[in-house]
Amino acid sequence: QAVLTRLPSPSLFGSDIDPVLLAAAYQTRSRFRFALTDPKKQRFEVPHENVGPFSGPAASNLKYKVDVQQNPFGIKVTRASNGKVLFDTTIGPLLYAEQFLQLSIKLPSSNVYGVGEHVHKQYQHDVRWKTWPIFSRDAAPSANMDNLYGVQTFFLCLEDNTGASLGVFLMNSNAMEFALQPAPAVTYRTTGGILDFYVFLGDTPEQVVQEYVKFIGLPALPSYWTLGFHLSRYDYGSLDAVKAVVERNRAIGLPYDVQYTDIDYMEGRKDFTYDKVNFKDLPSFQTYMHDYGQKYIIILDPAISTEALADGSSYQAYERGQSKKVWVNESDGVTPLVGEVWPGRTVFPDFTNPDCTSWWTEECKIFYNQVPYDGIWIDMNEVANFVQGSSNGCEQNELNYPPFTPHVVDRLLYSKTLCMDAVQKWGRHYDVHNLFGYSMTLSTQRAIETLFPGKRSFLLSRSTFAGSGKYAGHWLGDNAATWDHIKWAIPGMLEFGLFGIPYVGADICGFYENVTEELCRRWMQVGAFYPFSRNHNTKKCTPQDPAAFGADSVLVKSSKHYLNIRYTLLPYLYTLFYKAHTQGDTVARPVLHEFYSDEATWSVDKQFLWGPGLLITPVLDPGVDIVQAYVPDAVWYDYDSGAKIWLRKQWTQMYLPADKMGLHLRGGYVFPFQQPATTTVASRKNPMGLIIALDDNNEAAGELFWDDGESTGEPLSAS
């Protein structure tokens, strides 16, 4: 510990904190933590399940060395093995005021990856003065540098071609900015809470991710069926229309496990209700799906309507929540804050309140007893509100109008969400806004444990925070059917791998806008290799489920071909998820994680790997059948033909006509497989086998994890 006193200088935003207390700990041999707090007053700290006090013995045999510089204060973390400075805050001053905290870090290289949620367009950051706002927001991904749904404050830095890497995580949930500079350096600039930094050292990028993810929470092991293909759209209009889509995709023999209904299944878009006219048979829909070995997932939004049902009867879910007083309150701490979302006037459940979790769990159960379902998709949990702050506006005060506002969308913190002075159990919305989706995930996980005891089910969340991956997967939000979006999905997906949320994918064929056959065909090809593989579409757009393009279309033929390969390789994919779940490995893996000694891989983001062994090279441009692709330094075999390709460590022109994408198996690996079928219920009964891809020495090795695919208990067998 050390006490830091402020050097004389003009105040930037007022209310400077002086002195500041520094606490630091050698937590493990590869993890260093330090925090800066106000010794005179308790400031907001994220009540994260994995953060503890500074206590316990110091780790020994450290991979790092720490030096603290005085006048002015700075902290330097050095790699013990080679003396390289990895993390150096002496590049800029520490600023610590009531609502403005800033620290800059000089880095050993400009190979920086991560931090979100944004569309970065490229996986390797551009360090030429780019400032990214971080604040959870219901905003559609676009070319703008907008803050999007989730809050992820972790980045990885590859030091050099030895693979040595570091990771940096700031545990802070306030609205903030992350600025990259060419020094190379980064600056975290946040509007509250404390500065609580974690520095992770690894010998490889994978090791850094493992260290980080072990700290914030190892990702959930998905149930096997959730690795199948999913179909969804907003506004099918009726259950008959849903069934027609299900039937036509069954009829073409598409590998397909999961069907969703979006908010149009509800009555008046109210959670825990269903449209008794257009979806009158919804109570038997799960059985209809199960009869074919398929599953059914519902959507739930946080906002709860305050109004009665159409027939004048009371809306029970609201009434019960009201009597338990589980809503987010206005600044007075007692009046429920009212806003407006899909169902009209709404209140917002305070998922940081344990009573709210009990109420939510109970509502999920009551609805399940009417309309059985297999998993839950939670949306709009940034939290989204269609009026600014509340129906009564927001007061003029320093929470709603802080002295410094990061470059968030609209430059107004309460835009499209709640007033910042709203009151929740964990604290003011100002401090806990970025935890809304995370807390809703925790509550919904409780509901799932109650509904499916001993089973893993399915949970998908739009808004995430550090540690969300322990319970939920994520999709990249409301993208659009454009060639830009198909490209941006790969960096986005790789970033969520770094954040410990490996069960991730973008909406295949795009959510907004009408998709062309060509784009949808290319997207079905690459999407067959998203860890979370779902085709989802918005209202009023032309249908984009594969069968809609005609049973004899190239799109259907190609979609079936690649989904069959996905289903064939599910034992390999499932094993990768097991390794993510037990050690924090990535699943959809950046090429540089395997081939870091080759600088050419450091910026590859139009290709990716499944684990160490399957190289995926999609077509991401229109009118193209030749792709500029990188072949990393290994022996590779073409998946379809088994032929060895006689190139390595070079760029090549890959010929990928309309029905084809690049898929290559890496020599040295064994891939467990199973004969595919149109559902995982059926495929799991088929014979299994091994694809053995030999390396230069005619050797190969691999692993298989196998169990019943859904139990939460100890694995039945592992090898």
Ligand X SMILES: *[C@@H]1O[C@H](CO)[C@@H](O)[C@H](O)[C@H]1NC(C)=O
Residue ranges that bind ligand X, judged by CB under 6 A: 325, 329, 333-334, 350, 353, 423-425, 513-514, 540-542
Please say whether the beta carbons of 559 and 124 come within 8 A: no
**Smallest gap from residue 512 Cβ to ligand X (A):** 7
Please say whether the beta carbons of 228 and 258 come within 8 A: yes
Rounded to whole angstroms, how far apart are CA atoms 234 and 358? 29
Residue that the structure tokens 């490996």 belong to: 502
- Identity of the residue, 53 or 333, whose beta carbon is nearer to ligand X in the bound complex: 333
Rounded to whole angstroms, how far apart are CA atoms 555 and 559? 6
Q: Which runs of consecutive H residues, i.e. helices, occur in 569-637?
A: 570-583, 591-594
Buried b (16+ CB within 10 A) or exposed e, 191-224: bbbbbbbbbbbbebbbbbbbbbbbbbbbbbbbbb
**Smallest gap from residue 316 Cβ to ligand X (A):** 19
- Identity of the residue, 46 or 432, whose beta carbon is nearer to ligand X in the bound complex: 432
Please say whether the beta carbons of 354 and 362 come within 8 A: no
- Identity of the residue, 406 or 543, whose beta carbon is nearer to ligand X in the bound complex: 543
**Smallest gap from residue 349 Cβ to ligand X (A):** 11
- Identity of the residue, 70 or 540, whose beta carbon is nearer to ligand X in the bound complex: 540
What are the tokens at 76?
């330097």
**Smallest gap from residue 470 Cβ to ligand X (A):** 25
**Smallest gap from residue 359 Cβ to ligand X (A):** 12
**Smallest gap from residue 448 Cβ to ligand X (A):** 24
**Smallest gap from residue 471 Cβ to ligand X (A):** 23
What dihedral do alpha carbons 399, 401, 406, 409 form, nearest 10°? Answer: 110
Nearest to 663 by CA among 605, 625, 608, 706: 608
Rounded to whole angstroms, how far apart are CA atoms 28 and 157? 19
Gyration radius (Cα) of the chain, Å: 25
Please say whether the beta carbons of 79 and 32 come within 8 A: no
**Smallest gap from residue 163 Cβ to ligand X (A):** 46
**Smallest gap from residue 123 Cβ to ligand X (A):** 29
**Smallest gap from residue 348 Cβ to ligand X (A):** 11
In the beta sheet, which residues pair with residue 314? none
Nearest to 132 by CA among 147, 111, 149: 147
- Identity of the residue, 329 or 617, whose beta carbon is nearer to ligand X in the bound complex: 329
- Identity of the residue, 349 or 611, whose beta carbon is nearer to ligand X in the bound complex: 349
Q: How far is CA 518 from CA 416, 529, 552, 628, 664, in A?
A: 35, 18, 15, 19, 23
In the beta sheet, which residues pair with residue 630? 651
Determine the distance from the C-alpha atom of residue 14 to the mean position of all C-alpha atoms in its chain, rounded to a whole number.
36
